[in-house]
Amino acid sequence: MEKFFKLQENGTKVSTEIIAGFTTFFAMSYIIFVNPAILSLTGIPWGAVFIATIIASAVGTLIMGLFANVPYALAPGMGLNAFFTYTVVFALGFSWQQALSMVFICGIINIILTVTKIRKAIIKSIPSGLQNAIGGGIGIFIAYIGIKNAGLLNFISDPGTYIMLDGGTVISNSSAVPGLVTMNNPTVLLAIIGLILMVVLLVLKVRGAILLGIIATTIIGIPMGVVNLSSIGLTSNISTSFAELGTVFGSIFTSAGISSLFADAAKIPLVLITIFAFSLSDIFDTIGTFIGTGRKTGIFTEEDIKTLETSSGFNSKMDKALFADSIATSMGAIVGTSNTTTYIESAAGIGTGGRTGLTSVVTALLFIAAIALAPVAGIVPAAATAPALIVVGIMMMSAFKEIEWNDMDEAIPAFFAGVFMAFCYNISYGIAAGFIFYCLIKLTKRQISEVHPILLVSTLLFILNFIVLAII
């Protein structure tokens, strides 16, 4: 194990990696239940999505750990699953089989971009100031996810300022005002207790502070009525779920799948545009996660970055991680779920000391165990994992100190890259805002020739993407 994962070389040990694997799993285990709830609205059987989510997460994470030897976990991406359901199926009228087919093609495109080194060329093109802004911005984003999951915020929308979609989803405009909730809800109080507990453990430098905090908060939640032990037990028939998976598995290769996408020539432009939107978001979500968490923690060392820039093949950990991520999307589409991507919640495990693929292997095994133990994993409330995301976000925001805030040329794009991730709840949009303002400043100062061609093309593609989304 030492030889395979190079634990000592990476400054870690087996126990630390196991704790990190558990921490990452608990921080992202919500996807096992949330993804089926969203995708099943399209007509895919709930049980099929439940099993597909676990399979895609476990296999993708296992590949990441064994092939790339980095502590990242993969699962169907939040945001991408909502785009799949509410935009591609509900708004554009595609069937779920066609939507899965688009995800599969998106994955193939990502594989090609990775093998041809275009993805790593994108990373090389991003200036160091923007890279630090992405890292700090992801810290804000993670902390905001934690604050939201803790139930600390509510949003007030006046009548006439929102619309309600099929399924009960509400879309409000910018008049929605955030506010702090009243502190009389047991779930909110438990989250606050968990946050205080984790802060104390971290300040005292207690080993495994985040995981201990999650476990302790869950236990405290039992007498508070937030954790219901009586819910332990299989809530659905596993054999039925596997039977439903059989009706979805490989459906993209049937007449209702890929072949139907291009049957109507008039819809081909819309199909291509939708695939483009899937790919752009998937690519930059992953790049942002790696840049934001990998460099700050030393998972991707300077030597590894140099190897990424100069070598051919898969000789660097970043090369291997990008490839592992790219094949996960197509694999997930085959089993029946939306884009499988590297999860930002991996930062929770990294924050507890996870540095190698052993962390990912542990997380993958826990996903597999969750098939039978889903209700047990499900008793860990969001109030217990939300504080973990908040404190990890705090740790990551130190990347902001590397930015020259007195230099407006660097500060302006860094600001937009940093804050738009949280404000828009989307890593890619934050990166897009940073790119756009960086190019705008260079254009204004007649220094556009200094912008890397790939960054310039990426910026134009982001702008095109926003135009397309506005049209459709």
Closest CA to 188 of 150, 144, 147, 228: 150
Which pLDDT band holds residue 123 (cuts at 50, 70, 90)?
A: confident
> For residue 266, is pLDDT > 60?
yes
Closest CA to 284 of 54, 126, 116, 115: 126
Q: What is the pLDDT of residues 356-396, one digit of tens each?
A: 999 999 999 999 998 886 666 667 788 988 888 888 788 87
pLDDT at 54: 95
CA R_g for the chain: 22
Tokens read off for 44:
């895919």
> For residue 429, is pLDDT > 50?
yes
Which pLDDT band holds residue 171 (cuts at 50, 70, 90)?
A: confident
| Torsional sign, CA 59, 60, 61, 63 | positive
Among 268-282, 324-338, 444-458, the minimum mean pLDDT is found in 268-282
Cα 90 to Cα 41: distance, rounded to the nearest angstrom: 9
Cα 44 to Cα 389: distance, rounded to the nearest angstrom: 31
pLDDT at 356: 95
pLDDT at 345: 84
pLDDT at 234: 46
User: Residue range 117-134: average pLDDT?
Assistant: 82
**Alpha helix positions (H), 64-172:** 80-82, 96-115, 118-125, 128-149
pTM score: 0.74
> For residue 328, is pLDDT > 60?
yes
> For residue 411, is pLDDT > 90?
yes
pLDDT at 295: 67
User: Residue range 346-362: average pLDDT?
Assistant: 92
235 vs 27, 241, 364, 371, 402, CA distance in Å?
21, 11, 22, 11, 49
Which pLDDT band holds residue 117 (cuts at 50, 70, 90)?
A: confident
Question: What is the residue whose two structure tokens read 């236990």?
Answer: 219
427-444 and 268-297 helices, crossing angle to 10°: 90
pLDDT at 466: 86
Helix, strand, coil percent content, the chain, rounded in steps of 5: 70, 5, 25
Tokens read off for 423:
């404000």
Q: What is the chain's mean pLDDT, rounded?
A: 87
Q: What is the pLDDT of residues 203-224, one digit of tens each?
A: 998 867 887 888 899 999 999 9
Question: What is the residue whose two structure tokens read 């909110």?
Answer: 188
Which pLDDT band holds residue 4 (cuts at 50, 70, 90)?
A: very high
pLDDT at 374: 63
